Chains A and B, each alone.
Chain A
Amino acid sequence: MTDSKYFTTTKKGEIFELKAELNSDKKEKKKEAVKKVIASMTVGKDVSALFPDVVNCMQTDNLELKKLVYLYLMNYAKSQPDMAIMAVNTFVKDCEDANPLIRALAVRTMGCIRVDKITEYLCEPLRKCLKDEDPYVRKTAAVCVAKLHDINAQLVEDQGFLDTLKDLISDSNPMVVANAVAALSEIAESHPNSNLLDLNPQSINKLLTALNECTEWGQIFILDCLANYTPRDDRESQSICERVTPRLSHANSAVVLSAVKVLMKFMEMLPKDLDYYSTLLKKLAPPLVTLLSAEPELQYVALRNINLIVQKRPEILKHEMKVFFVKYNDPIYVKLEKLDIMIRLASQANIAQVLAELKEYATEVDVDFVRKAVRAIGRCAIKVEQSAERCVSTLLDLIQTKVNYVVQEAIVVIKDIFRKYPNKYESVIATLCENLDSLDEPEARAAMIWIVGEYAERIDNADELLESFLEGFHDESTQVQLQLLTAIVKLFLKKPTETQELVQQVLSLATQDSDNPDLRDRGYIYWRLLSTDPVAAKEVVLAEKPLISEETDLIEPTLLEELICHIGTLASVYHKPPSAFVEGSRGVMHKRLPARTGSGESTESPDVGAAGGSAPEAAPSIIPSQGDLLGDLLNLDMAPPTTSGPPPPSTGMQMGGMDLLGGGLDSLMGDESEPLGGDIGGSPAMGAGFGAAPAVMPASLNAPVGGGLGDLFDLGGVGMPMGAYIPPKIVWLPAMKAKGLEISGTFARRAGVIQMELILTNKAMSVMTDFAIQFNRNSFGLAPAGPLQVLTPLGPNQTIEVSLPLSTVGPVMKMDPLNNLQVAVKNNIDVFYFSCQYPISMLFVEDGKMERQVFLATWKDIPNDNESQFQIKDCHLNSDAASSKLQGSNIFTIAKRTVEGQDMLYMSIKLSNGIWVLAELRVQAGNPNYTISLKCRAPEVSQCVFQCYEAVLKN
């Protein structure tokens, strides 16, 4: 006799037959009938009509039958709440049964019947079962509290079950402890502020004791609970780590991972010079390696976690490179993850081995894998300088195979290698050019075009090559179009004589025939640059590019910290914070690693993570309607004739273009060393990837160009909407102390020039003449850039306003406070000394906008010790207003994310002496208090920077 026959009864009147059988007197027959009912239930047939008949079978002393009936009840009680009441009496009676199995079964099933009416009857039996003498009943009851809480939270609180549950944490049976911990953890998640799981050193100690005794699954609950605890100091942290470490050799990978999570988190608090710290690091490697011998499913999940761990603490696995070598029979998703980790671990020590492997992979069958392997070779070259030459020759070998997709990937990565090591490997360009025709993917075409443009002077037929691309300009993807535009402009600037026609052609294609605003804008910018000041154009377009950063796809540091706290969970597989994929109340608490110092400042604000995933939006920019932009553009003082409204007739444009280039050409061909006056900074966005928001540009250009371009950018709304913050003038030198000369003043930064704005008042009776000024050495090398211009003598009661341009190239000496400036002013009467403090914001330079990737890498690179956190109170701006206000003072927002009404702004600042300050500003809607975290390699500036933030935001 087998059960499979139950699945095959499909006759008519089946329900009727079952009804009869259920009401049979014979137990065996009843049991068979209930089984048939459950079989129908499983395959999705509706057997709810049999509810009363099945419930009738409930009163039996046959445990097997009882279990079957309960199974049915759990499934259908919800749809038949009134009938479910019929079963209550039996439940209550069963809860008193002499057999602990029956008591537990009853309380377990009752909790699963999600009917409100039943819950009131559940309370009394549950109370008894929580104190039952049998641990099996107690552990079942503990879970039942969580079930009841899910249905009616208020009831659980009113009935005091939570306290009973807390008591169970001290139960003698480890299973009961584990279930109580699990239930409390779940309940606590929906009450973020309650202190349900009151974790203190005593309760932690109890948990650690239970950890050794309970089942593997119980160990997981306890370890996960431990991970939420923040030890008071490094000694407590170490003692917990010591007791958790034995779990690392457990056979159950889930236990291992939960232990890894606890250790990774608590390690953060240990001083790095501690012996135990390095011992712990060593102990973490073997269990992680072991995970890679599991089934592919577990391997994949493990690799995703290792990827996070390697980013946080590469030292753990630095000697284990070999285990990440792919096996030919690994599933592709495992291979790709392994490759990623291999690159992260690549270093000078193991690069030869890695390269040999990668070369093998590049000849495999699977296209995706091969592509990634080729890309990996490029990443190695960028990461490990010593290997670059080897990587390049490996790539050349691969190009020789002429396998289409290999060639394309190789060209894309060689472009990056050129950018990292300029003027080193250009000899390979010829080989690359041979493959021009086979490129059909946009990324590869764009890369190749970039190479041709960048090295136009070394490629004899660069103009022919680029021209060949131009033929199908409109069929290319935007990426290729943009690159082609830039490349041809570069070519023109390098070989102006023979390429004039080409550049006109591409400019007109980009500006007139394209619907793409990015392309058109870039076209106009080049056009205006070329027409206004070709020398400046050359400086901008051919500016030296910043080197590309080593690590390209790092996870954002705050997100990484949060994910480390979620090791072993789905978040660690998706690489997204739980709030991004878990609904509502559960799991929205953001976790953050504890601070090493334990000062508590950073742990006070746990809400760091973000829902936005790993791709923060670009800085907000307002783009005015195209008509305005174009109209204004055309009304500007430059060449193209004013035609009302877009699009302008093409002939007009052409003529304008001719004029423009005519003039431009002359000056370009003329004296190239013509001084430029202003500091045309290397704007990182210009050369290769002229991105969407060139906010850096306007102020870094000097007056004539800057004027026109400034307008242009203002139209774009990304220029300087507010203007820099200028503190109000204060009296620096009272008249009493200076024989009648009163000096008040302030500092300002205008168009990239720092100015000291002074008001000199003569309160004496005699005329003052012969003014001069001098600064003592100071922290940032501020010095007057010219003499103090007081041309006319200052008569009694006369006042004069002077503005003194300052440079930052004077002698440097660290002052305290940092922004202190000691000034000496001389006149015909005497020399007077005073000191004043300047807002550090005037040292914020205009090209302080970091590239996002560089930002990420830098943030990660700066040690946590250098991070300081401040509160800005009573600020009522929203994040956008704050961002644009800050931008006025050259504090650039690089990215913004929003998590549950909290905006996180990531900003960068560059000081005139080249120091970068990175900031994360958190703005909660409705909360006037901002939190700001500052990271800088020179942490002493943080305090001053914070003061600036406060001053800027509040004015």
Chain B
Amino acid sequence: MISQVFILSSKGDHLIYKDFRGEAGKDAVNKFYEMVTALTGGQPPVVMKHKELHFVHIRQGGLYWVATTKADASPFTIIEFLNRLTALVKDYCGCLLEKSVQMNFALIYELLDEVVDFGYIQTTSTDILKNFIQTEAVSSKPFSLFDLSNVGLFGADTQQNKVAPSAAATRPIVSSQGEQGSKNEIFVDVIERMSVVIGANGVLMKADIEGEIRVKCYMPSCSEMRIGLNEEFSIGKSQLSGYGAAVRVDECSFHQAVRLDEFDTYRILKVCPSQGEQTVMQYQLCDDLPTAPPFRLFPSIERDSGGRLLMYLKLRCDLPPKSAAINVSITIPVPKGSLRLSQELSSPDQSAELQPKNKAVHWEIPRFPGGAQLSALFKLEVSGLSAASLQEVGPVSLSFELPKYTCTGLQIRFLRLSPIQPGPSQRWVRYVTHSDSYTIRI
């Protein structure tokens, strides 16, 4: 049972405060801010306790979304609820910013009233909520499909590739103002996150992929949407199909609105999307990659005669030649006492710097095409360099984005809406893979 819900700005300003059960005072808000800002890195911030009151919070859009409870409530419920709440606010207000929350406080109060009653969560579905919500959203500026100022998830290298710009998906779902409301758009995103550990000997030690299909729907009435996945899509470890070209995942879970009667035979998900954003399917693949891991590293590390540490790193991108990784950032932990770095990089758009505070070298590569190989030579001056210092180098971690690419090979074959929508409607399908945690040990 939720006792209170409040939203604070990063500076601690009260944006929204709603008391559902009258069992805790409003001073809880300030107490929370005190506690959350006093947290040290090692303390789990998830559940905090002050006297009889328990705080559960998440951070989204730079804001604190907090729920309190006095009972032995379920933190899972509360965290899931807060995540849904942020999604709802995003759906209704367009984006999650301090300003949009502040502008739409009346709407958010109204939402909260319908979503939670006496601490019991009632519903978080936009389909049901749209029957009740009266207040209209206000947005700070008119949205335009061509507004590219807000480059986000899918924003990089877009236009020429017919990828919908990210700003198109950051507007309120319900809006009756002018031409915005009549835009019939639907976005289907396939997002994968990969975590990989490659051992010092180059052996793949661990490779997990977590993926989801997310639908963001702006259509006011859409009775059914059929999402066709690759036909050779298979679930579970035992299933082996055909020539091994199958797209395989270990586990799959679906939004409860998804109907699966055609899934087993035709790999078609049937869903009646509510307005707004929802994750229709989540899947995982553990300990297996259908293709080679996207990056491999060939390091050679030694001490030179001048007492410097030489790191010669060759990095190869094993993506198919048509794909490319963007925003590749490589972190190489270096011995403590590293003073200066001099580097030789293979192309001018790359950059590298030593961050003594983190004891690490950061190497940035804006774009890394598949099949290419880049190399870098780092010379480090380290005070008190010893044989043991070499052990302090590594493991190397990478973060990157692979646009238009899914590691599992999952593809959306088709997207059909029925009945056929009157007027023009646009359907966008986007793919992206992110690195969640990509570690190469040395």
A residues near B (Cβ < 8 Å) are 1-4, 6-7, 35, 38-39, 42-44, 63-64, 67-68, 71, 75, 78, 101, 108, 111-112, 114, 139-140, 143-144, 146-147, 150, 175, 179, 182-183, 186, 215-217, 220-221, 224, 249-254, 256-258, 286, 289-290, 293, 295, 297-298, 300-302, 322-323, 325, 327-333, 336, 360, 363, 365, 368, 400-402, 566, 568-571, 573-574, 578, 581-583, 586-587
Contact = CB atoms under 8 A, between A and B. Distances in A.
A78 B74 contact: no
A4 B102 contact: yes
B46 A301 contact: yes
A939 B56 CA distance: 46
Given A257-B74, A257-B76, A573-B47, A143 B117 contact: yes
Given A2-B103, A568-B74, A569-B75, A64 B255 contact: no
Contacts of A111: 118
B74 A365 contact: no
A65 to B, nearest CB: 9
Interface stretch (B9-17, B266-274, B294-302, B418-426): B9-17
10 contacts: A3-B105, A3-B138, A64-B110, A251-B256, A254-B76, A293-B284, A295-B58, A297-B46, A327-B437, A570-B73
B58 A571 contact: no
Interface string B247-274: 0001111111000000000000000000
Contact of A329 (B15, B70, B391, B397): B397
Contacts of B416: none
B118 A301 contact: no
Given A108-B117, A257-B76, A569-B73, A290 B109 contact: no
Contacts of A186: 1
B102 A329 contact: no
B122 interface: yes
B135 to A, nearest CB: 6
Interface stretch (B37-45, B149-157, B165-173, B342-350): B37-45
Contacts of A586: 70-72
A251 B282 contact: yes
B322 to A, nearest CB: 29
A71 B206 CA distance: 53
Nearest to A39: B105
B104 to A, nearest CB: 6
A67 B113 contact: yes
Nearest to A35: B106
Contacts of B20: 112
B441 interface: yes
Contact of A150 (B21, B42, B206): B21
Contacts of B135: 64, 67
B123 interface: yes
Interface string B118-154: 1011111100000110110010100000000000000
Contacts of B254: 249, 251
A253 B80 contact: yes
Given A251-B254, A574-B47, A42 B17 contact: yes
A39 B13 CA distance: 13
A289 B286 contact: yes
B77 A42 contact: no
A215 B41 contact: no
B26 interface: yes
B121 to A, nearest CB: 4
A681 B250 CA distance: 57
Interface string B49-89: 10010100010000000000111111111011101000000
Given A186-B1, A333-B43, A401-B388, A253 B109 contact: no
Interface string B208-228: 101000000000000000000
A328 B397 contact: yes
B22 interface: yes
Contact of B117 (A140, A330, A401, A574): A140
A732 B46 CA distance: 69
A363 B391 contact: yes
Interface in B19-38: 19-22, 26
B271 to A, nearest CB: 13
B72 A571 contact: yes
B282 A38 contact: no
Given A286-B250, A323-B286, A325-B197, 14 more contacts: A43-B13, A44-B26, A64-B110, A67-B110, A216-B256, A251-B253, A253-B80, A286-B251, A295-B79, A327-B437, A328-B437, A329-B436, A402-B388, A571-B72
Given A220-B74, A325-B197, A300 B44 contact: yes
Given A4-B99, A42-B15, A328-B439, A220 B77 contact: yes
B279 interface: yes
A139 B251 CA distance: 35
Contacts of A146: 118
A327 to B, nearest CB: 3
Nearest to B255: A251
A101 B110 CA distance: 13
B426 to A, nearest CB: 27
Nearest to A189: B71
The 3 closest A-B pairs by CB, nearest first: A327-B437, A333-B44, A254-B76
A3 B106 contact: yes
Interface of B: 1, 13-17, 19-22, 26, 41-47, 49, 52, 54, 58, 69-77, 79-81, 83, 99, 102-106, 109-110, 113, 117-118, 120-125, 131-132, 134-135, 138, 140, 193, 195, 197, 206, 208, 210, 250-256, 279, 282, 284, 286-287, 333, 359, 388, 391-392, 395, 397, 436-437, 439, 441
Given A254-B80, A327-B437, A44 B73 contact: no
B54 to A, nearest CB: 6
Given A300-B46, A583-B52, A573 B70 contact: no
A290 B251 contact: yes
Contacts of B69: 570
Given A329-B437, A360-B441, A289 B72 contact: no
A307 to B, nearest CB: 13
Contact of A322 (B46, B76, B109, B287): B287
Contacts of A286: 250-251
Contacts of A67: 110, 113, 134-135
A343 B227 CA distance: 43
Contacts of A569: 72-75
B109 A582 contact: no
Contacts of A290: 251, 253, 282, 284
Most-contacted residue by chain A among B58, B117, B125, B134 (CB, 10 A): B117
A932 to B, nearest CB: 29
B71 A582 contact: yes
A325 B388 CA distance: 25
Nearest to A212: B256
A119 to B, nearest CB: 13
A295 to B, nearest CB: 7
Contacts of B286: 289, 322-323
Given A2-B138, A333-B43, A402-B388, A293 B210 contact: yes
Contacts of B392: 363
Nearest to A335: B42
A254 B77 contact: yes
A101 to B, nearest CB: 6
Given A143-B118, A297-B46, A573-B75, A327 B333 contact: no
A226 to B, nearest CB: 14
Most-contacted residue by chain A among B118, B122, B286 (CB, 10 A): B118
B138 A401 contact: no
A870 B392 CA distance: 61
A587 B72 CA distance: 7
A68 B102 contact: no
B146 to A, nearest CB: 24
Contacts of B47: 301, 570, 573-574
A301 B79 contact: yes
B92 to A, nearest CB: 13
A147 B21 CA distance: 8
